[in-house]
Amino acid sequence: MDTLNPDAYESVRRALSRERRRIRLARIRRNAGLQAGAVLFLFFVLMALAGPFLVSHDPAEMKVTDRLLPPSAEHWLGTDEFGRDLLARIVYGSRVSIGTGLSVALAASAAGLVIGLYASYYKTLDHILMRICDGLYAIPGILLAIALMAALGASVTNVIVALSVVYTPGIARIVRSAALSVRGQTFIEALEVQGAGATRIIWRHIMPNTLSPLIVQATFVFAEAIISEAALSFLGVGIPAPDPSWGNILQAGKLVIFKAWWMVVFPGIAIVLTVLGLNLLGDGLRDHLDPRLSGNRR
């Protein structure tokens, strides 16, 4: 074997890695749900990022003479009850709604990861943390969020805080169960015998094995957080006017439902497509990262 010429070795190695990449891409290409979800979701993310350059109207500019105009060439999606351009408000609202969803997904994932990992490693801590999680989990999510918002007051930051509290226990449970299945394996025992510290074992050896289920769950939390934010803002305890969010545009739309269908239909479409995209993405990621987890395919 040592007679093998280094160049030939290098080219074989490169061919192998090319092949591996090809297989991975082929698996993604066969996963139609993953692709459709990614495309749908990216569309809205791009809209949120590029928004200010896309729309010619100021989302806050009021014009009394333009109140509740139906969709037209000037206002593609019509105007709201203050004569503000609806397209501009939905585009700017996507920054708030998607931004809130993302923040909640990140915050709940980080907190859930830490709680789940440490609970899986220390038995006493596990009992305490899991009882707290069980308790919080028993309170219906939207009600807990409503109550927290009632206490904290309506603002973007408080919506993120309240929803993160709501979604952390679920993520902690999933991380914990993934971590527990690794915890009992021989290589962890071997590491302990070798004298590896707890921090090192938890973060270097257990944590990477919890990432797949965590990423999948975070995607679903992202979607649910967008719905919950919209629900809270719709109920008037979420993101306060005049900042646009998809939820509070709908809240305003409800009041003028007899006169302006576009105020309900267009923000509604934005919510549904974003959430659908994230759900497809989550399902697709689950199939891709761990086919065994897939529930509906057999």
Partner 1 sequence: MAAYVAKRLLSLIPVLFVVSVAIFLIIHITPGDPASSILGMEATEEEIARLNAELGLDRPIAEQYVRWVAGLFRGDLGDSIFMRMPVSQAIAEHIGPTLSLALLAELFALVLAIPFGVLAAWKRGSLADYALMGATLLGMAVPSFLLGLLLMLAFGVKLGWLPVAGYKPLSAGLAEHLKFLILPAVSLGAIQAALIARMTRASVLDILNLPFVRTARSKGLGEAKVVGKHALRNALLPILTVIGQTFGTLVTGAVVVESIFNIPGLGQLILNSIERRDYAVIQGVVLIVTLIYVAINLIVDLLYGAVDPRVRLDKR
Binding region for partner 1 (CB under 8 A): 131-132, 134-136, 138-144, 146-153, 223, 227, 230-231, 234-237, 250, 253-254, 257-258, 261, 264-265, 268, 271-273, 275-276, 279-280, 295-296, 298
In the bound complex, what is the minimum distance in angstroms from residue 259's beta carbon to partner 1?
A: 9
Q: How far is the CB of 216 from partner 1 (least distance, A)?
A: 16
Half-sphere exposure at residue 171, Cβ-oriented, CA atoms within 13 angstroms: 30
E-assigned strand segments in the chain: none
Q: What is the nearest approach in angstroms of partner 1 to the Cβ of residue 149?
A: 8
Nearer to partner 1, 126 or 191 (CB): 126
Tell me how far, at minimum, the Cβ of 277 lies from partner 1, in Å: 9
153 conformational bin, left if phi > 0, alpha if psi -120 to 50, beta if neither: left
* Cβ neighbours around 147 below 10 Å, total: 13
Number of CB atoms found within 10 A of residue 260's CB = 21
How many angstroms separate the first and last alpha carbons of the chain? Answer: 44
Q: Which two tokens stand for residue 28?
A: 């993604």
8-state DSSP, 257 = T
Strand intervals (E) in 132-235: none
Q: 92 or 234, CB closer to partner 1?
A: 234
**Cβ-based nearer residue to partner 1, 11 or 294:** 294
- In sequence order, the 6+-apart residues with CB closer than 8 A to the CB of 285 are 34, 215, 216, 219
CB nearer to partner 1: pick between 201 and 260: 260
Phi-psi region of 139 (alpha: psi -120 to 50; beta: other; left: phi over 0): beta
Cα(32)–Cα(18) distance, rounded to whole angstroms?
A: 23
Our CB check for partner 1 shows the closer of 202 and 267 to be: 267
Least distance from C-beta 74 to partner 1, angstroms? 24
Minimum CB–partner distance for residue 220 and partner 1 (Å): 10
Nearer to partner 1, 91 or 237 (CB): 237
Closest listed residue to residue 93, CA positions, set 218, 216, 253: 253
Nearest approach in angstroms of CB 87 to partner 1 is: 19
* Least distance to partner 1, CB of residue 212, Å: 21
In the bound state with partner 1, the residue whose beta carbon lies nearer, of 116 and 253, is 253
Q: Rounded to whole angstroms, how far apart are CA atoms 225 and 98? A: 9
Give the Cα separation of 195 and 267 in Å (integer). Answer: 57
By residue count, the chain amounts to 298
The residue among 36 and 191 lying less far from partner 1, judged by its C-beta, is 36
